[in-house]
Amino acid sequence: MRSRAVLYSRVGCHLCDDARDVLTGVCGEAGIDFEEIDIDGDPDLRARYGDEIPVVTVDDAIVGFWRIDPERVRKALA
């Protein structure tokens, strides 16, 4: 089963590192785990998200990309 929160990322992406920190904090506060998926391992995801990474989804809805706003993630998880 997919996690409620998903971080789509790629290796070597500094914005992905920042997004991971945001999700670690926000999801930790909410008591849930998040899943991280490397888009470079899936041609469909790479085509879908390309240069917009990182992308964060909650319940399959995009809540942010590039710079992730912790408040938007908190509201989506509420």
Phi and psi torsions of 4, nearest 5°: -65, -40
> In tens digits, what is the pLDDT along the chain, a chain of 78 residues?
457 999 999 999 999 999 999 999 999 999 999 999 999 999 999 999 998 999 999 999 999 999 999 999 999 999
Strands of the sheet with 5-9, listed across from one edge: 34-38, 5-9, 55-58, 61-65
* Residues 55 and 13: beta-carbon distance below 8 Å: no
- Token reading at 9: 């990322």
pLDDT value of residue 2:
56
- What pLDDT score does 17 carry? 98
Task: For the beta carbon of residue 57, count every other beta carbon within 10 angstroms.
Answer: 21
Which pLDDT does position 42 carry in this prediction?
A: 96
Domains contained in the chain, CATH given: 1-40+53-63 (3.40.30.10)
Q: Say what the pTM is.
A: 0.93
